[in-house]
Amino acid sequence: MAEQVRALDWQATPVGAIETWPSALRNAINLILASPESMYVVWGDDLTFFFNDAYSPILGPRLEGALGAPLKQLWADAWDAVRGPIEAAFAGNASRYENLPIAMNRRGEPEETWWTFSFSPIHLDDGSVGGAFCVTNEVTNIVVAQQRLARENERLIALFDKSPMFMAFLSGPEHRVELANPGYERLVGNRHVLGKSIRDALPEIVEQGFLPLLDEVYRTGKPYIGNEVVYDAPYPSDPSSARRMLDIVFQPVAGEDGTTAGVFVQGLDVTSHIELQRSMRRVEARNRQIIDSAKDYAIVASDLEGRVTLWNAGAEHIFGWTEAEMLGQSVEVIYTAEDIQAERLRHNRAVSIASGGVSGERWLMRRSGERFWANGAMTVLRGEDGAVLGFVKVLGDRTEEQRASAALVHSERRLGALVSASSQSLYAVSADWREMRQILPTGAEPSSEGFPTITDWREKYVHPDDLLLLEQAIARAMEHRQPLALEHRTLLADGSVRWVQMRAVPLLDSTGVITEWFGTAADVTERRQAEDQLRELTQTLEERVQARSAELQVAEERLRQSQKMEAVGQLTGGLAHDFNNLLTAISVGLELLELRIDQQRYDDVGRYLEMAQSSAARATALTQRLLAFSRRQTLAPTPVVADAMVRGMLDIISRTLGPSIAISTHLDSDPWAVLVDVPQMENALLNLCINARDAMPDGGPLIISAANVTLQGQAAALLDTPPGDYIRLAVKDAGTGMDAAVIEKVFEPFFTTKPIGQGTGLGLSMIYGFTRQSGGQVRIDSQLGHGTTVELYLPRFIGEAAGEAAEDTVRDVPAASAPSVGTILVVEDEEAIRALLTEVLGGAGYRVLQAPEGGQAIDTLRSEETIDLLITDVGLTGGLNGRQVADAGRQVRPGLPVLFITGYAASAAVGAGQLEEGMEVLTKPFTTTELERRARALLSASGTR
């Protein structure tokens, strides 16, 4: 601008040449040109305009020619706004303005601008005012931003006050309520809370556990988000108010120093929403129940792409696919190949959209590939705005009706041909049986003119001795409106007698009244004669057959009884032998133990104790095998990885089978876990290996494999198992194999192919019972001379499987005695066992209460006694069993840990597979170590140490 000032021809302006300028003007111009602030000077009566570089951007398109121009012309659109301050400055008065709005037209369009500026007079040497000096700064952006911020604040305040959410700001560690919107005030019962700490304002939040959450958010600076949180707020004006369900957020708010200054609370009362959802779920469940109740009709919904969105029970019944299999799949799968090629589905959708629906009959496909004739309709599903959302197809299986209709047409054609070719006499009779009209006499040709009506047909066609029989038959048929069937004699003109088979059916009108009878008459003389002869021949034959049948029934009953006694003999004989051996070892060992103690010879005490304990363990195993055989054993399932179990048993399997059997394994690289009773599974595997060894008397290869498999559709159906993931544990040998007849019986109790004394027939029966009770299936593939493969399919367990080593460690390490760690209620009707349980648990440091039956146990549970664990036998004498005692106890003591003990199959009483959390089963006999471990584990899980 200094260069432009020097270069401008000022001689042509009112201020004249630069050399003639007064010093005051020169000083003012030098001042503004050297200043970084936006400034300008107006001089003389014409208000000649001078400005600096900082002011240049303000001029915009007016920059060219602005230097030396009269102000009134240059800023004609803003003259009214600056006229007053300029005139005041020429009058010798300075002025200053902040954020003054000025309407301007700088770029060809009117605009609102704001300015902060000051005017000062420029005095000449004689004291008069020669011009005005202006320092100006455009603050339009600042003012607009402030206005926008103010409007935003107003909007935020309005949103805060009118928001459907409840909001509040809690400051400081004491959570003092500084802000609260009306929603928050309504939530807390319109209590006065502003300025109070949350503890004083809302004391109920301390009891309900909200205060620790606020403290945690304030301390850590991490927000808390809760969904469907229960808040019981007291409403003095509404004491009957119910608890509220809230979606809530505690958001930390940072101060200027970056630390948490407070907590912003916001949320939404979703009580009505949740109740609405529950109501909608009930309505949806009821509607679905209604839809599924239409089992004779398939109801199928699909989206615009033809993917199935609903598949009712009737659709599953008619088509064969389940809803889980069809959801998301194309509905076109039910169409025939011809309709798919003809794009029938697309055509039906287009017609439905155009006309609202389409109906008709056609062939459709079942899952099995079978065609069936369906009658149905497709309608359009529309949203609230009328947009097409999908389609609903309702159809029924009309295969039988279609077949019946086709058969009827075919039957009518056959009837016409039959009537023409019939050797019988066809006739029609009036409703009262007075008049008969022959339709086609025997041997006659069809006549279009018909035959005359006969009124004396009884005398003409019926033997006099059979007239009464005929009248009785007619009376019964008319009374019951049932068909008439009668064989009577007829007397021919030559005096001979023939037998006639007479049949007639009534024709009923819509009210059930008989209007006519239609019948046939056939000559059955030869048949009657043959029957008479046959009857004479068969009289003696029937007597012989009856006698022979009686003899066979007696022999069959004797055989059945013999088989039953043989099975019972095998079972009782083997059990008696095994238990006698075990009891002998136990009783003799205890006698020797008593003798050595009396003799104070303690060297062999350990050996006798080990002998008794070993025999007791063998008796336990035998009992478990019997329970498995009965399919009623009480299982204690735990997660286990199949390949780990196999590897852990290889040593004992190898020693059991001997060196002639070459064992190899094929185990999955990433095996799944299963939830089974591990000892039963180990016993099953060992039994399969022993059977394989017995099938290979000369030795041979034995392969043990474990693999992950997924069974779906036909594969699951063939095994009679639900679709899903399974572990397939298989044992394969190269032995003698079995034929189909043997395979059908291998799972039957007592069935065995081994010689007498080498097998009880319980092994495979036990394996089958264990596997089915664990939710799995057993499959046998065998051929004579080519070996046998037995496969156990066990459901996959989703979760973490316990390690074998860890399990063994827990099982073997005895529990250390500890000071009293809780109170245990023992319920046992057997006095000796109750005393032993009390002694063992008392020695472990527990306080033990006793109850001999269920009623007394419930009284104790309802008392003020402190009870940390309930140990109860399942089968108690009296009116209550152990499960009923446990359920009653949990009603008054929710979450009470329960350990069931049982010596027999009590799944029905305990509810096998339906135990609640904190309930476990311990089978008799058990060790003191196991009893203490299980009790300690349940108490630890419940928080009592």
For 713-735, the pLDDT digits (tens) are: 888 888 888 899 999 999 999 98
Sorting pLDDT into bands at 50, 70 and 90, what band is 419?
Answer: low
Sorting pLDDT into bands at 50, 70 and 90, what band is 812?
Answer: very low
**Bridge partners (DSSP) listed for residue 826:** 850, 871
| pLDDT over 80 (residue 165) | yes
**Bridge partners (DSSP) listed for residue 137:** 116
Nearest to 166 by CA among 189, 182, 153, 190: 182
Q: How far is CA 495 from CA 228, 458, 744, 898, in A?
A: 102, 17, 68, 97
How many angstroms separate the first and last alpha carbons of the chain? Answer: 90
Alpha carbons 756 and 710: distance in angstroms, whole number:
41
Q: Where are the beta strands (DSSP E) in 293-356?
A: 297-303, 308-311
**Is 478 or 836 the better-scoring residue by pLDDT?**
478
Give the type of residue at 455.
Answer: T
383 DSSP 8-state letter: -
Nearest to 376 by CA among 394, 353, 349: 394
Give the type of residue at 535.
Answer: R
**pLDDT tens-place string over residues 486-510:** 999 998 888 888 998 889 999 888 8
Residue 794 has a pLDDT of 92
The pair of structure tokens assigned to 26 is 């020169």
Alpha carbons 66 and 70: distance in angstroms, whole number:
8
Residues 869/937, Cβ–Cβ less than 8 Å: no
**Bridge partners (DSSP) listed for residue 502:** 486, 521
| pLDDT over 80 (residue 640) | yes
Question: Which H or E run includes 409?
Answer: helix 399-421
Portion of the chain with pLDDT greater than 90, in percent: 26
Alpha carbons 252 and 255: distance in angstroms, whole number:
10
Q: What is the CA radius of gyration of the chain?
A: 52
**pLDDT tens-place string over residues 847-872:** 999 999 999 999 999 999 999 999 99
pLDDT, average across residues 808-833: 64
The pair of structure tokens assigned to 158 is 């309005």
Left, alpha or beta for 600 (phi > 0: left; psi -120 to 50: alpha)?
left
**Is 611 or 403 the better-scoring residue by pLDDT?**
403
pLDDT, average across residues 429-449: 71
| Cβ burial, residue 137 (10 Å; 0-12/13-18/19+) | middle
Give the three-class secondary structure for 698: coil
Alpha carbons 645 and 667: distance in angstroms, whole number:
11
Residue 810 has a pLDDT of 36
Residue 684 has a pLDDT of 83
237 DSSP 8-state letter: T
Alpha carbons 309 and 326: distance in angstroms, whole number:
8
> Can you say how many angstroms the Cα of residue 186 is from the centroid of all Cα atoms in its chain?
38
335 DSSP 8-state letter: B
**Is 830 or 301 the better-scoring residue by pLDDT?**
301
Alpha carbons 742 and 734: distance in angstroms, whole number:
17
In this predicted structure, which of 81-85, 294-298, 318-322 has the lowest mean pLDDT?
A: 294-298
Alpha carbons 761 and 567: distance in angstroms, whole number:
10
| φ, ψ for residue 126, nearest 5 deg | -85, 5
Alpha carbons 380 and 358: distance in angstroms, whole number:
9
**pLDDT tens-place string over residues 877-924:** 877 888 899 999 999 999 999 999 987 544 444 654 567 888 888 887
Residue 817 has a pLDDT of 42
Residue 942 has a pLDDT of 76
> What are the b/e assignments for 543-563, b being 16+ CB within 10 Å?
eeeeeeeeeeeeeeeeeeeee
Residues 901/924, Cβ–Cβ less than 8 Å: yes
| pLDDT over 80 (residue 406) | no
Sorting pLDDT into bands at 50, 70 and 90, what band is 827?
Answer: very high
Alpha carbons 133 and 94: distance in angstroms, whole number:
9
Q: How far is CA 658 from CA 652, 683, 701, 762, in A?
A: 10, 18, 12, 23
∠ CA 621-622-628, rounded to 5°: 90
Q: Model pTM?
A: 0.30
Contacts (Cβ under 8 Å, ≥6 apart) of 799? 639, 673
Contacts (Cβ under 8 Å, ≥6 apart) of 232? 204, 208, 243, 244
**pLDDT tens-place string over residues 326-368:** 999 999 899 999 999 988 888 888 888 888 888 888 899 999 9
In this predicted structure, which of 481-490, 705-714, 922-931 has the lowest mean pLDDT?
A: 922-931
Average pLDDT, the chain: 81
Alpha carbons 100 and 332: distance in angstroms, whole number:
74
Beta 224-231 vs 48-51: how paired, if at all? unpaired
pLDDT, average across residues 49-67: 90
Give the type of residue at 7.
Answer: A
**Is 273 or 66 the better-scoring residue by pLDDT?**
66
Sorting pLDDT into bands at 50, 70 and 90, what band is 819?
Answer: very low
∠ CA 658-660-661, rounded to 5°: 80
Portion of the chain with pLDDT greater than 70, in percent: 82
Nearest to 396 by CA among 376, 368, 369: 376
Long-range Cβ contact pairs of 197-201 (< 8 A, separation 24 or more): 198/170, 198/174, 199/174, 199/175, 201/177
**pLDDT tens-place string over residues 543-590:** 767 777 777 777 655 654 554 455 445 455 555 555 665 666 676 667
Alpha carbons 466 and 488: distance in angstroms, whole number:
6
The pair of structure tokens assigned to 576 is 């008696």
**pLDDT tens-place string over residues 184-199:** 888 888 888 888 998 8
What is the biggest distance separating any 2 CA atoms in the chain, rounded to whole angstroms? 176
In this predicted structure, which of 138-142, 155-159, 318-322 has the lowest mean pLDDT?
A: 155-159
Residue 815 has a pLDDT of 42
Sorting pLDDT into bands at 50, 70 and 90, what band is 87?
Answer: very high
Alpha carbons 18 and 10: distance in angstroms, whole number:
7
Give the three-class secondary structure for 445: coil
Sorting pLDDT into bands at 50, 70 and 90, what band is 148?
Answer: confident
Nearest to 485 by CA among 536, 519, 450, 457: 519
Residue 175 has a pLDDT of 92
**Is 70 or 102 the better-scoring residue by pLDDT?**
70
**pLDDT tens-place string over residues 211-270:** 999 999 999 999 999 988 888 877 655 554 557 889 999 999 988 788 888 999 998 888
Give the three-class secondary structure for 126: coil
Residue 472 has a pLDDT of 92
Sorting pLDDT into bands at 50, 70 and 90, what band is 875?
Answer: confident
Sorting pLDDT into bands at 50, 70 and 90, what band is 809?
Answer: very low
Question: Which H or E run includes 782?
Answer: strand 777-783
Residue 664 has a pLDDT of 92
Sorting pLDDT into bands at 50, 70 and 90, what band is 119?
Answer: very high
| pLDDT over 90 (residue 50) | yes
Cis peptide before 925 (omega within 30 of 0): yes
Give helix then strand counts, H and E, for the chain.
31, 33
Residue 416 has a pLDDT of 52
The pair of structure tokens assigned to 447 is 């006549």
Sorting pLDDT into bands at 50, 70 and 90, what band is 772?
Answer: confident
Residues 331/319, Cβ–Cβ less than 8 Å: no
